[in-house]
Amino acid sequence: MKAVIRPSKAYGSVKIPPSKSMAHRAIICAALADGESVVSNIDYSVDISTTIDCMRKLGAEIECSETEVKIRGIKDFDGIKDTHIECNESGSTLRFLIPLFSLTGRKITFTGKNRLLKRPQKIYEEIFAGAGLLFEQTEEKIEIQGALPAKKYTLSGGVSSQFISGLLFTLPLLKEDSTINILPPFESRSYIDLTIQMMAKFGVEIMWQDELTLYIRGGQKYIAHNETVEGDFSQFAFFGVLSAVNSPVEIYGMNPESLQGDKQILQILSDFGCNVNYKDGIYKVCAENGLKAADIDLKNCPDLGPVLCTLAMFSKGTTHIDNANRLRIKESDRILAMQSECAKMDCKIEATENEMFINGGYSVPLQPLDGWKDHRIVMACAVALSVLGGEINGCEAVSKSYPSFFEDLEKVGIEVEFYD
């Protein structure tokens, strides 16, 4: 599907959808709790629907209504309904659930779409091999068999935190205690803290022994709990940047006390010269005196990468982004994707494996932009085109995380037309 966006002045207000990160975690915890939980403020993106389907296959009973799910969790792992687990494009779903499904003792086959099974899973491969368990990966599937044991685990802190979270969901259910030692440099700790926070709400305790060591007491049980999912700062970023480069809109639905790493967008916008104010539940972002380039560290907020390229494009000077290497192993190579699409808008991005240098400057694109089958590339480009005007191909990719993105864009005054 193609979207044609006309230069339009943004105005009004927008409610940000619930955090995908927190919704994954709440649904998994509720599905592991013997009893009924209600998870409210749910947005049925493809990723979240995928996690719901997978937890049903584990044996949880899940009833979906418009904005909430009622979940009757499993009593044990004997009630698994299916051993073929389709994860679509959701890296969170796949990495969170591999250790959990190992506890069934059954031979489990995980499948996915597009680049999912090309994304690295070496951490789990080594963990399963070290325990003498089956872990085989091809470009079509991953097969596992055998329950991960309680033990001392050592993981690199420089890879996705999703591997650590996957172990954290699983290890408390084993009889003995475990520890996870994280080798520095430790990136994306904020996502680990989100996992620990959500597990605590469902009655499972994880302890930091020191800055790099997690202690997991065995023999714990998840307890049913009703949870309302907070707003998503990674999605807030698109409208925060829209306010900065186009015209201010009021943004609500957020938790100012959130532990989300993507909350760093607030400081980044400030560093670029924006006034960022919060009052009565509403954020307002305004760049009255223009935008100036700044340095950005993506260590704890890699999902912000694409839209920060848009911010940098409209800023005076050269923006330096560090710790960008994980952008290369997302739904697309997001560094390459933004280099390509920003070049069409007359903005040059130079990159190494781990850094990006973005020279501010832009013009109306003379050819359509491509979404690279990546939701965040599409949304980042749409924000730019709200000022410049132009076309984006592949805009259906937003269904992965933010199905109503273009509807919300239209609600704040941006003119969009769609074509098959």
Mapped onto helix, strand or coil, the DSSP state of residue 4 is strand
How many Cβ atoms from other residues are within 10 Å of residue 256's Cβ? 10
Cα 8 from Cα 352, distance rounded (Å): 35
Tokens of 156: 């690199």
The string of DSSP letters for 190-212 reads HHHHHHHHHHHHTT--EEEEETT
Cα-based distances in Å from 347 to 324, 356, 383: 18, 13, 15
Q: Is 7 in contact with 389 (CB distance < 8 Å)?
A: yes
- Using alpha carbons, select from 272, 359, 269 the residue that is nearest to residue 318: 359
Residue 14 to residue 251: CA distance in whole angstroms: 5
- Alpha helices (H) in 113-176, listed in sequence order: 122-130, 162-170
Query: Which one of 303, 370, 374, 408 is the catalytic residue?
Result: 303
Distance CA 110, CA 105 (A): 15
Q: Which backbone phi and psi does 27 adopt, to 5 degrees?
A: -65, -40
Segments of 304-407 assigned E as strands: 318-322, 349-351, 356-359, 369-370, 390-393
Neighbours of 11 (CB within 10 A): 14
- Residue 328 CA to residue 17 CA, distance in Å, equals 26
Instruction: Count the neighbouring beta carbons within 10 Å of the beta carbon of residue 81.
Output: 9
- Any idea which residue has 């935008």 for tokens? 291
- Tokens describing residue 396: 């259906």
Cβ 21 vs Cβ 261: under 8 Å? no
Which residue, 266, 235, 243, is CA-closest to 12? 243
303 carries an active-site annotation? yes
Secondary structure (3-state) at 372: coil
Q: Are strands 178-183 and 213-216 parallel, antiparallel or unpaired?
A: antiparallel
Q: Which residues are known catalytic residues?
A: 303
